[in-house]
Every structure is written in C-alpha cells, then in structure tokens.
Amino acid sequence: MIFKHSNRTGTEPVFITCRNITGATVSAGAPVEWDVVTATDGNAVTQSKSGSLAGLFAGINHSSLADSAYGLVQVYGFRTSAYCSGSTAAQAVPGAFLIPTSGYLDNGTMSAATTSGHVFVSLMGTLSTTALTQESVFIRAM
C-alpha cells in the first residue's frame, strides 16, 4: 500500500498495486474488481463488469494500465477523475452512492447500497447527464 504523506494543500489518497488481467488496457478512472475466475492471488484485477457483486470492487484504476501489467489502484480518498454515468440524472446529486458496472460507476440508491452491504464510492458533485463523463468522487474501499 502507498499512503501519501499528510499535507495541507492536497488530498491524501491511498493506493494498492494490482495486476490487470482484463485482456485489454484499462483506462485511468475506470473501476476495477478482484478477479475470482482466472487468478485468485490477491493482486489480479479486471475492469468492473455488469452484474458483479459489490464486494469484489477493488478501487479506481489510477493510470492507463495495459493487459498483464502492474499499476496503482486508488482505494481511499478524493479523486477528480472517475468514469461515471447517471442512469437517472435526478438521483445523481452530491453524496449519491455510485455502483461499479461495465467499466464505469453508475448512480445507485440506498436500497442498492443496503442490499450489497457496501458503499464504496460517493459522488462529490452533480452528475447531470447519462453520458459517460469523468467526475469527482470519494473512494472508501480499504
């Protein structure tokens, strides 16, 4: 784990090192999940998939990560660039729960968060479109 040193001018994110086994490059800002099919070794991740269990969420990929390469995944802290899309823009207000789906975060509901038992990512701004955009989020996946 990499903990950024405490300072007064920036945020204090936490990163882990993971290996991409998606079969393709994963973009910076895309959510990733622990792989439980190919390599259950504790560092293998794939880009998030539709219908995955929320408990498999590992974090947000920090920079573009080629297949079979190692890189950083942000697991805690404020991030200004996470891929998001609002399935219903009316729910995408600051503090909304975001749920990992097919390579992006989608706005969720309290019932979805209660069902999964986890709230890993919160929207920090307003998501006013259903188009894929990069938004500010707060991550809690440690």
Q: What is the CATH number of the domain that holds 61?
A: 2.40.300.10
Residues 6 or more apart in contact with residue 63 via CB below 8 angstroms: 28, 71, 72
pLDDT digits (tens, 9 = 90+) for 43-71: 999 999 876 677 788 999 999 999 999 99
Say what the pLDDT of residue 117 is: 47
What are the structure tokens assigned to 21, written together?
């086994």
- Rounded CA-CA distance 104/129 in Å is 14
pLDDT at position 116: 54
> Considering its fold, how many domains does the chain have in total?
1
User: Which residues span the domain enclosing 78?
Assistant: 2-140
Selected residue with higher pLDDT from 24 and 90 = 24
Question: What is residue 26's DSSP assignment?
Answer: B
pTM of the predicted protein model:
0.86
- So what's the pLDDT on residue 14? 92
Whole-number pLDDT of residue 60: 96
